Amino acid sequence: MTGTFVVQLFSGNQLAMFMVPCVIGGFFILLFAATLRDRRLAKADKPTWSLRQFASTFYFNPRKSPDFGWAFASRFMFVLPYAFLTTYQAYFLLNKIGSAEADAPQQIFLGTVVQSVVLIAASLIGGRLSDRTGRRKIVVLAAAIVYGLAMFAVAISSNFNGFLVGMAITGLGFGMYMAVDLALVADVLPDTDDTAKDLGVLNIAGALPSSIAPAIAPASWPSVAAATACCMRSPESAPSSEPSSSWR
């Protein structure tokens, strides 16, 4: 939310829109690294380093830990549509909603604020509800259904107000999910002696979609465009050799 706020302050300067958040983020990362008192292992406790041992820290055996494997897959699939939304919401506002380029940064900031407010409230309520009932999976399932409906609401929105409603519902689903997912994962960790390693592997499921989404979208665009064209074409419309201006 802070990043989108900073970006919309420099909407007239594209270089500043990218560089200022990077500079601010880099400063606080360096400050954190300089002030953190890291606990270091004694030399006798350090394991022997090897490339194979290093590579194994990014892997777990899903056959031995199927519950953790399902948790990894569910988080990946849950975060993937969020990565699509955050990556392409600017283009969605410009091309689908018809927003002006000068208004897009502020609209993204407002959408992020609405989403964040609902997310915080939903995470608090969802977490308390899960603790009281002792149920985890049912809350995660409900969150996934709500989030799927939210993606549909965003996709069919025809104006900015509809987009905000969709963003609010995404905050509801994402907040419910994040409040309970980590508690669910803690119950299915493969090895209590490698908790940090396993949580690091799980973090890949949350970070990888942001890298994959921009690559998947262009590959899937021809089929999506063809399906959309079939849905939009009426029986009475005559074929035209000129593409519609909205597809240019």
The answer as to whether 148 is a domain residue is yes
The answer as to whether 200 is a domain residue is yes
The answer as to whether 82 is a domain residue is yes
Which CATH number belongs to the domain containing residue 73 in this structure? 1.20.1250.20
pLDDT (average), residues 147-156: 90
Is residue 169 predicted with pLDDT exceeding 90? yes
Q: Is the dihedral of CA 201, 202, 208, 210 positive or negative?
A: negative
Tell me the residue length of the chain. Answer: 248
The answer as to whether 37 is a domain residue is no
Per the structure, the count of domains in the chain is 1
Q: How confident is the model at residue 164 (pLDDT cuts 50, 70, 90)?
A: very high
Q: Is the dihedral of CA 123, 125, 128, 129 positive or negative?
A: negative
Distance CA 39, CA 46 (A): 13
More confident residue, 111 or 51: 111
The answer as to whether 170 is a domain residue is yes
Residue 112 sits in which domain range?
65-213
More confident residue, 16 or 236: 16
Q: What is the pLDDT of residue 223?
A: 47
Q: How confident is the model at residue 11 (pLDDT cuts 50, 70, 90)?
A: low
pLDDT tens per residue across span 198-238: 888 888 888 888 888 888 776 655 544 444 344 444 344 44
- What are the tokens at 83? 């990565």
Q: How confident is the model at residue 5 (pLDDT cuts 50, 70, 90)?
A: low
CA distance readout (Å), 72 to 68, 75, 188: 6, 5, 11
- What are the tokens at 182? 């980590």
The answer as to whether 50 is a domain residue is no
The answer as to whether 223 is a domain residue is no
pLDDT tens per residue across span 96-150: 888 888 888 888 888 888 998 999 999 888 888 888 888 888 888 888 899 889 9
Q: What is the pLDDT of residue 7?
A: 67
Helix axes 104-133, 137-156, angle to 10 degrees: 160
Listing DSSP states for 139-198 in one string gives: HHHHHHHHHHHHHHHHHH--SHHHHHHHHHHHHHHHHHHHHHHHHHHHHT-S-GGGHHHH
More confident residue, 113 or 13: 113
State the pTM of this model: 0.68
